[in-house]
Amino acid sequence: MNVLVTGGAGFIGSNFVHYLRRERPSWKVTVLDLLTYAGNLKNIAELVEEGSVRFVKGSIADKELVDDLFKGTKFNLVFNFAAESHVDRSIHGAQVFVETNIMGTQILLDAARATGVERFVQISTDEVYGSLGPTGFFVETTPLNPTSPYAASKTGADLMVLAAVKTHGLEAVITRCSNNYGPYQFPEKLMPLFITNALEDKPLPLYGDGLNVRSWIYVEDHCAALLLCGEKGRSGEVYNIGAGADGELPNIEVTKTILSILGKSEDLIQYVADRPAHDRRYAIDYSKIKSELGWEPKISFREGVQRTVEWYKNNKEWWQSVKTGEYLKYYEMNYANR
């Protein structure tokens, strides 16, 4: 089995590559990644060095490179993680989100179709549904109503995938997962930002009233669901993936959990101006993937955060080397005048 993992040097992609190596050791894995600010070859370095994963540096939006790669290797399965993934960055500048998330996905779809890929998995997000009020859950038929440029670009990609299935008979599935956390997450997202800031005794900038609710899922649970969707999901279908009631928490509770595990003071919390169009609440109904594919999340929120905090405590060199250069400029731009 020949598998292409795009974005495999990023957070979820690299966790998935490690997961695949453990769960499907006989599969041949190629990673295609542009190594943007969010990509880090260190995340999969030992696998690349030992030769069990092939690494190709390049963009999914580079048609010539993608076409050559697909012609050179007959991929059976493609997992498309590659994306610009941060809502706040998409507010500061949306163009690259359109280029990578929509154009890049279309270029992959064309190459997959031309070379007879047997299954294409589009890693999408629950953010395509927009925001919930105080009650209810996202189901796969919830209308698409993205509010950020990031979410809008992911919605565009989802629609191109569905069009390729309907028009050309491509075998593809779409997964829509909620907020992930775990090892190797770039410290611009809430969980790693707050853990690493707390470790440095720096303020934790909580947007708005801190009561926005997310459904927090440990990344390994997401990886298990993705492999199942790749192997057994029905083509043309969307599968929601989420953590269930245990992981549905307002940001202030997530923040307090991090601080209590680290033994740090809640005085580090600093309320700052809200994000524009900040989605109020996400909650996932994952009964479809549960009943069709037998998937359920296994790691509780407390357990997942404990594991994640441990990882950041033990891998200071990893995040300290990332919190430099471009990151500091972004941090200044996003947080200075809030």
Residues that bind ligand NAD (CB under 6 A): 6-7, 9-13, 32-36, 38-39, 59-61, 81-85, 100, 104, 123, 125, 154, 177, 179-180, 186
**CA 105 from centre of chain:** 15
Q: Given the complex with ligand NAD, which of 179 and 197 has the nearer CB atom?
A: 179
Tell me how far, at minimum, the Cβ of 241 lies from ligand TYD, in Å: 15
List the single partner that 318 binds among ligand TYD, ligand NAD, none, CB under 5 to 8 Å by kind: none
Q: Considering 84, 110, 126, 188, which one is annotated as catalytic?
A: 126
**Whole-number Å distance between alpha carbons of 304 and 283:** 18
Q: Given the complex with ligand NAD, which of 59 and 142 has the nearer CB atom?
A: 59
| Cβ partners under 8 Å of residue 74, min gap 6 | 2, 115, 116
Residue nearest to ligand NAD (CB): 10
Which pair of structure tokens corresponds to residue 209? 């009233």
Q: Active-site residue 271, yes or no? A: no
**Whole-number Å distance between alpha carbons of 79 and 133:** 32
User: Using an 8 Å Cβ cutoff, are 280 and 213 in contact?
Assistant: yes
The CA R_g of the chain, rounded to the nearest whole Å, is: 19
The count of chain residues that interact with ligand TYD, using the rule CB under 6 A, is 12
List the single partner that 207 binds among ligand NAD, ligand TYD, none, CB under 5 to 8 Å by kind: ligand TYD
List the single partner that 104 binds among ligand TYD, ligand NAD, none, CB under 5 to 8 Å by kind: ligand NAD
Tell me if 251 contacts ligand TYD by CB under 6 A.
Answer: yes
Tell me how far, at minimum, the Cβ of 27 lies from ligand NAD, in Å: 20
- DSSP β-bridge partners for residue 259: none
Q: Active-site residue 326, yes or no? A: no
Tokens 């491509």 found at:
170
Binding mask 181-220 for ligand TYD (x = CB under 6 A): --------xx--x-----------xxx----x-x------
- DSSP β-bridge partners for residue 284: 138
Tell me how far, at minimum, the Cβ of 205 lies from ligand TYD, in Å: 5
Phi, psi for residue 162 in degrees, rounded to 5? -65, -35
Q: Given the complex with ligand TYD, which of 150 and 239 has the nearer CB atom?
A: 150
Tell me how far, at minimum, the Cβ of 83 lies from ligand NAD, in Å: 3
Residue-wise over 321-334: b if at least 16 C-beta within 10 A, else e? ebbeeebeebbeeb
List the single partner that 33 binds among ligand TYD, ligand NAD, none, CB under 5 to 8 Å by kind: ligand NAD
Q: Active-site residue 267, yes or no? A: no
Question: What DSSP string runs through 86-101?
Answer: -HHHHHH--HHHIIII
HSE (side-chain half, CA atoms, 13 Å) at 71: 6
Which pair of structure tokens corresponds to residue 53? 């994963």
Tell me if 242 contacts ligand TYD by CB under 6 A.
Answer: no
Residue in 90, 124, 142, 179 binding ligand TYD, rule: CB under 6 A? 179
Q: Which of 116, 18, 108 is nearest to 76 (CA)?
A: 116
Tell me how far, at minimum, the Cβ of 56 lies from ligand TYD, in Å: 28
**Whole-number Å distance between alpha carbons of 98 and 80:** 15
Q: Considering 19, 129, 150, 218, which one is annotated as catalytic?
A: 150
**Positions 84 through 113 that interact with ligand TYD (CB under 6 A):** 87
**Whole-number Å distance between alpha carbons of 119 and 27:** 15
H or E element that contains 155: helix 149-168
**Whole-number Å distance between alpha carbons of 282 and 75:** 35
Tell me how far, at minimum, the Cβ of 201 lies from ligand NAD, in Å: 26
Q: Considering 33, 84, 127, 221, which one is annotated as catalytic?
A: 127
Contact footprint for ligand TYD (CB under 6 A) = 87, 179, 189-190, 193, 205-207, 212, 214, 251, 275
Catalytic residues: 126-127, 150
